[in-house]
Amino acid sequence: MDDILIRVEDLHFAYRAGEPDAVPALNGISLTIRRGEYVAIVGHNGSGKSTLARHFNALLLPTRGKVYVQDMDTSDPRHTLDIRRIVGMVFQDPDNQIVGTLVEEDVAFGPENLGVPQPALAQRVEKALQAVGLWELRHRPPHLLSGGQRQRVAIAGVLAMEPACLVLDEATSMLDPASRAEVLQVVRRLHTAGTTIIAITHFMEEAALAERIIVLAGGKIALEGSPQEVFSQRERLRELRLVPPTPAQLAEAVQARSGVAFSPLPLTREALVEAVHAHAVPLPAGGRP
């Protein structure tokens, strides 16, 4: 059982719990995240996805039910710092999570809080900045970096704490497409290197990159499975007001028009290109058809 990193048992949470104007946000969620997994949590606004994410590192504590990180109960204050070191979190707005006035000083903030002494501290900073490809920019002030670079600084700041798991709480939603691709590339590389990734997102293209998708609606798990399983349930997705990734939509449109079935459903650009290529008629010799 020790490959389970996070265990959530019948989690209920309400903002202003116990008061007459309490707002229930999570209504009985149970799930497990295994070590090394890449999980996407999706759902439209107000579905409770960010609230759930904040239970993974004890930023919020359950009103009812339990959350365990490596078998440590998040509601036990003695474990809070250990849990936050193990489960690092990157937030939406890079500006509001960068603390230092220079890139390297910001990356050092986490390990400084953990009391890591020199020279291990400097080594951690270097390793984290190398991992996100920003070592050359370590002496820059963060406000002179692009959005994507700033978000990579934020990721490096979390990596410097050497976490087992990275939670991305809509970490790409304020970025332009090029910056988003930049950040996702770093995330994929970290996952390949063994880091557990939990991506909270409302971009379905991004969710399709994960190994498992958890769809939340009304504070409950509405749908769960591999991207293939989730995105092939068209009716259910429509009820949940979620739109599959563009390649899947295109494939379905072609399917409806021509009767050619795509199996499996292509979810990424590359998969769609491959699927279309398989059906394409080769060009006649001489070039033009």
Partner 1 sequence: MQDFALLRHITIGQYLPGDSFVHRMDPRAKITVVLLLSLALTVNTSYLANILLLALCLGLIRAAGISLRYVLSGVRPALPFIIALSLMQLAFYGNPSVTSRLPVITFLRWGPIFITSSGLQLVLVSLARFVDLMILASILTNTTPLAHLAYGLEDMLKPFGRLGVPAQEISLIFILALRFVPILAEQLETLAKAQASRGADIGAGGRWRFWRTARAMLVLIVPLFLDAFRRAEELIVAMEARCYAGGRGRTRLVQLRMGWADGIAILICALLAVGFIWFRKSFPF
Least separation in angstroms between residue 285's CB and partner 1 is: 59
Cβ closer to partner 1: 161 or 209?
161
Amino acid at 41: I
Least separation in angstroms between residue 53's CB and partner 1 is: 10
Cβ closer to partner 1: 17 or 114?
114
Cβ closer to partner 1: 87 or 190?
87
Least separation in angstroms between residue 216's CB and partner 1 is: 20
Distance CA 219, CA 14 (A): 10
Least separation in angstroms between residue 30's CB and partner 1 is: 24
Which residue ranges make up the site for partner 1 (CB under 8 A)? 57, 59, 81, 84-85, 88-89, 91, 93, 95-102, 104-105, 108-118, 121-122, 125, 141-143, 157-158, 161
The residue to which tokens 């060009």 are assigned: 283
Among 112, 109, 110, 107, residue whose Cα is nearest residue 134: 107
SS3 content of the chain, % helix, strand, coil (to 5): 40, 20, 35
The set of residues, in sequence order, having a beta carbon less than 8 Å from that of 84 and lying 6+ positions away, is 57, 58
Cβ closer to partner 1: 48 or 266?
48
Token digits of residue 243: 């739109």
CA 141 to chain centre: 26
Token digits of residue 165: 């798991």
Cβ closer to partner 1: 126 or 224?
126
Least separation in angstroms between residue 118's CB and partner 1 is: 7
Whole-Å CA distances, 275 to 1, 153, 229, 255, 270: 39, 37, 18, 12, 9
Cβ closer to partner 1: 89 or 265?
89
Least separation in angstroms between residue 262's CB and partner 1 is: 41
Cβ closer to partner 1: 161 or 213?
161
Helices (H), strands (E): how many in the chain? Answer: 11, 10
DSSP at 163:
-
Least separation in angstroms between residue 72's CB and partner 1 is: 14
Least separation in angstroms between residue 67's CB and partner 1 is: 15
87-90 sheet: strands from edge to edge: 87-90, 165-169, 196-200, 38-42, 212-217, 220-225
Cβ closer to partner 1: 101 or 263?
101
Half-sphere exposure of 236 (CA within 13 A, CB side): 13
